[in-house]
Structure 1
């Protein structure tokens, strides 16, 4: 059942309770019965009963009442009798009207008057168009003028739109030029699936000599239906270029389509031609802001000239459209896309502003999805998680120059670890093992670190944090560290899941000028996707200050990762690059991590490759591209 039908049924149910109340209000039954029958007949659509209670031509009155409903595209009328006053020829009834304008949404409330006359000893409503509304005159009719607000853009942090032009095609009619409006709507309904009565009501309630949009099509759908649409007399197609096609990152920005019968049901109510609906990404999350609502006017028209005579009521949009302002940066996004394409590997990259947590770029190759994988993916952290162990090592007074063997295989607390690539078999300092990502050496430190301390350190870097973004994200998860084996696995990242977004924020915390972890920010305005007055902005987690000694140590270790470790491929011109790599198995796929930063831009890269330096190479191209663009 449509929203309009539901409202009509509701009105009929209310009437059942209202009619008896009307009949018991006054001592003068004859005048009251005439008023009651007229209003009840008008409210229920029994126009014959209403007409019999007037002194006008019954056929003309029936037609006028029916036309009022049609020209207002009204879902229902409801009336409340306020009183009958005066005597003789001056008798008059006052009533309050509430008109549900149906598809046009507002409730129109006004006060009306019913002049009463005695005709052959019976009270009658003295008929004229002003009975319908005090300002409606002979030779006039109602009409509804609707002006939709255009869809607003999604913007990057520099206020540049994140959409390109896309052409939509609109089927329009000029009602006064149609020879058979019913046939037009019947054929259009067959083609599009929109209800025939809805299309017809739009035509009949509109200003007759003004172009009325009925249905909007995307390019593909229009190409399929073009010949059938051209065959309908009176249909005029117009092409409207609109900024709807998503620019990169397209899956974050999201897609937009014209309203269809299916999407109309998803939106929970009737929409008008020209309306658009976000199908994914930020376009879907912020649909209510981006589209706003319509301006609606109830007017009277001169039947001869078809020109407006009076404005009876005007509703401004009940909420304004608003652009969605993001933290994304189109130039940085372009650099990220280029860096991934240059690698020839399935991969993803997330870049954030270290000092704020603002998401600057989200890029993936076609094998991965920017939201589901780069923001919300659950991947093993591998040796990157050793970052969290540094605070515990410092508390245990472990020296960075301490020598640690890096065997090919090692067992810690019953858990087995394997180092598949260099520097397996060597003995390096803790700093060297960190820089080269030796899993067997780092796992051996598990007995020096308290598991609870490692969990607390991970939390300070945002792992498992309850942040709230308008799109799906994953902050990370680690299993409880109940013994040395579990702690060793955590240091090696085997029992820890993270997303590229969460690891970019970890690097950002180290690179931040104040050594502070910041929760991610993707949208700065509006504060919440829900425009309703009751919507409460979800409070983001507070930034977390990391111990200065821990930050200084991590900066030393991660700088070594680029100067002498496995992340050398990330080096780029300009300020020094810092970062480390890690290799993991995701199912049967070998994956190569890199996380690090240059200046105030922190990144995490995850690439499908058995080469542990593959992620660092992508990061290197990214940083080189940033430097070249400065």
Structure 2
């Protein structure tokens, strides 16, 4: 985030003067050329331009104005000087200095070496005045100017490098200084219409080359329509229409929205507007704002006052190049996901690639794609029995073991209730798993250690410290010091997860290895932390026990062919594997996979298996 210009100017100038003035006065004590050099540089640095001007042989008023104009011409935050040497011979002398000019707006310091020729005038040392004392290449009839350059905004791309947004027109209001009679008046009127600070608008105009279009304020379509008449009434204002990739396509909340900078958001960018300035408000547009927009390039040039043409380029900083952001989103699957959830009231669907953890699609209805699908904290319900089964199978439970499936049961004082009628009062572990008989599954709490449940949850990424550029949640396991707590964990009552976490669980069974999630491939992870220094690395993939995974795949295939997830079956393509959870707080899950796509579907008041089945069918039709 760029600094706030007004505050930076005051602080930088004060610090520079406090640091440098003692240095100059401390090392230049003699009544000699040193005194004139000291007063000239201290006056220039501190803004006491008349002090500096009186130490020259020019007209004090004209010289003071010329020195003050340099600050305005550069829109400089501060000047800082260091004397690097003084030589004298008779009644002439020469001082050499190094200048550090803070051009503001996060530009680098402009450092250059200058020369002050001096001579004795009526017994006093004076700087021999000419524009070249301000910069060696500044000639008579010339001034300094700053020319910024911007590359606009780059797109966010799907896995096939197609943009995940469409172009929209931004309207840039600005001026060409050479064609404006009264820039102050124009900026005052523009400030009144837009709310931007007049002095910042004017400083941008004042420091620019006169024949260059200077962008001042950028508007979206709606805001421009509201203000168009007022803007067109300002004599000298020009409107430049620019197309930029700012209108998000699905998944819209993942991609994020973009706004033209307003007076309220200007502080986030710092400084006056530039052509196409825009700010990501949320999603990946916000997370990668600096990459997508880059950093403004800057040139310092000399300008011929008569012609307005550039004479010499004195310095140039290209800025940081902008670049697109590449994601793992599969637009074909994203469209299938959007269609699949469209008939629901409230739902979230996350699809991942089992072999890599890449997020292929995120779609919601009545929920938020980031806050709920990636970062939601929902009870896992009996969908968590996939993870619990991993621990139970390793603890010796057989899939053929007979288990009573009563309508209700108490385990260690915790009560469990069926929400739908079981097919039989006695089921095998396989049938209890595929039908989601929570009363039978909870009874197995005494057959497994809490540490085993935790170990399996960890292997499947629950509670893992992964990192994504957007908020996400890997889940939490409870402390389990009793059979009741273990039973509640087996059926997911006290386990919190996100749809993303459960999609990765399904992907882990499908591939045999749990992978951390990946959403952005360029720039590549790992990502820098909030302090910009520490590197945050993804956890390593976890290879699962092959025999246990083989059994889990068989169980999850049965969940579709003969269990409660039958609605997820697809008529074509690879077979579907999955299970449906018993409802918790009115919400139920489907987790499973078909081919190279694993999904988690969370639905409120509906059948998640039907949503998953629709997703697979739409995906097949679109392929």
Shift of 1:59: 2.6
- The CA deviation string for residues 77-110 of structure 1, in whole angstroms up to 9 with x for no partner, is 2211222213136421111111111237231111
Could you tell me which residue of structure 1 aligns to residue 550 of structure 2? 552
Partner in structure 2 of residue 606 of structure 1: 602
Name the residue aligned to 1:262.
264
- Partner in structure 1 of residue 303 of structure 2: 301
Verify the 8 A CA contact 1:286 1:530 in the aligned structure 2. no
Distance in 2 (alpha carbons) for counterparts of 1:407 and 1:384: 19
Superposed counterparts of 1:356-435, under 5 Å: 356-365=356-365, 367-423=366-422, 425-435=424-434
Aligned to 1:619: 612
Native 8 Å contact 1:354 1:505 kept in 2: yes
Q: Is the 8 A contact 2:201 2:272 kept in 1?
A: no
Shift of residue 128 of structure 1? Answer: 1.0
Distance 1:581 1:2, change over 3 A: closer
Would you say the 8 A contact 2:16–2:78 is kept in 1? no
| Residue of structure 1 equivalent to 2:355 | 355
Farther-moved stretch of structure 1 (550-559 vs 237-246): 237-246
What is the correspondence of 1:147-166 to structure 2 with a 5 Å cutoff?
147-166=149-168
Report matched runs for 1:226-625 at 5 Å. 226-267=228-269, 272-317=274-319, 319-341=320-342, 343-365=343-365, 367-423=366-422, 425-512=424-511, 515-526=512-523, 527=525, 530=528, 535-572=533-570, 573-586=572-585, 590-609=586-605, 611=606, 614-625=607-618
* Residues 240-290 of structure 1 deviation map (CA, whole Å, 9 limit, x = unaligned): 121111111111111111122221223466664532111111111111222
1:387 Cα offset (Å): 1.1
Paired residue secondary structure (2:582):
strand
Contact 2:28/2:35 (CA < 8 Å) preserved in 1? Answer: no
SS in 2 for 1:207: coil
Question: Separation in 2 of the partners of 1:175 and 1:629?
Answer: 54
**Structure 2 CA distance, aligned partners of 1:40 and 1:191?**
40
SS in 1 for 2:184: helix
Deviation digits for residues 398-420 of structure 1, max 9, x if unmatched?
33223323221122222211112
The alignment covers a number of residue pairs equal to 619
CA contact (8 A) 1:289 1:529 kept: no
Displacement of 1:449 after TM fit? 1.9
SS at match of 1:239: strand
Residue by residue, what CA displacement relative to the aligned partner does 1:289-346 show, whole Å, maximum 9, x if unpaired? 22220111101111222111111111121x33232221111111111101111x3332
The whole-number CA distance in structure 2 between the counterparts of 1:374 and 1:562 is 24
Q: Give secondary structure in 2 for the equivalent of 1:151.
A: coil
Checking the alignment, whether the CA contact within 8 Å between 1:380 and 1:584 is kept in structure 2 is: no
Q: Distance in 2 between matches of 1:364 and 1:507?
A: 19
- Structure 1 CA distance, aligned partners of 2:85 and 2:397? 91
Mapped to 2, the partners of 1:23 and 1:392 lie a distance apart of 77
Counterpart contact for 1:145–1:207, Cα < 8 Å: yes
Q: For residues 403 and 577 of structure 2, what CA distance do their matches in structure 1 show? A: 23
**Alpha-carbon offset, residue 173 of structure 1:** 0.5
Distance in 1 between residues matched to 2:336 and 2:288, nearest whole Å: 27
Aligned to 1:348, the other structure's residue is in SS state strand
TM-score by length of 1: 0.94
Q: After superposition, what is the alpha-carbon deviation per residue over 1:574-619, rounded to whole angstroms, capped at 9, x for unaligned?
A: 1100000012223xxx11210000011100001111x5xx100010
Q: How big is the shift at 1:33?
A: 1.6
Q: Describe the shift of the 1:27–1:384 C-alpha distance in structure 2 as closer, same or farther (beyond 3 A).
A: closer
**Within 2, Cα distance between the matches of 1:529 and 1:128?**
52
Cα shift at 1:24: 4.6
Q: Supply the distance in 2 between the matched residues of 1:271 and 1:229 (Cα, whole angstroms).
A: 16
Query: How far does the alpha carbon of each residue in 1:185-227 deviate from its partner, in whole angstroms, 9 at most, with x for none?
Result: 1111122222111111111111101211011112222222222
Change (3 A) 1:52 1:464: same
Task: Describe the superposition over 1:50-86 as per-residue Cα deviations: whole angstroms up to 9, x where unpaired.
Answer: 2221112223212211221111111222211222213
Q: Is residue 12–residue 77 contact of structure 2 (8 Å, CA) maintained in 1?
A: no
Give the TM-score normalised by the residue count of structure 2.
Answer: 0.95
Give the match's secondary structure for 1:94: strand
> Using the alignment, how far apart are the partners of 1:532 and 1:132 within structure 2?
41
Distance 1:532 1:403 in 2: 52
Residue 13 (structure 1) shift: 4.2
The 1:468/1:107 distance shift into structure 2, 3 A limit, reads: same
Shift of 1:627: 1.5
Deviation at 1:30, TM superposition (A): 2.9
Q: Is the 8 A contact 2:407 2:421 kept in 1?
A: no
Unpaired runs of 5+ residues, structure 1, are: none
Q: Deviation at 1:379?
A: 1.1
Q: Distance in 2 between matches of 1:417 and 1:139?
A: 90
Q: Structure 1 415/7 Cα, relative in aligned 2: closer, same or farther at 3 Å?
A: same
Partner in structure 1 of residue 81 of structure 2? 79
Cα pair distance change 1:333/1:461, threshold 3 Å: same
**Unmatched 5+ stretches in structure 2:** none
Provide the C-alpha distance between the structure 2 equivalents of 1:359 and 1:87, rounded to a whole number of angstroms. Answer: 75
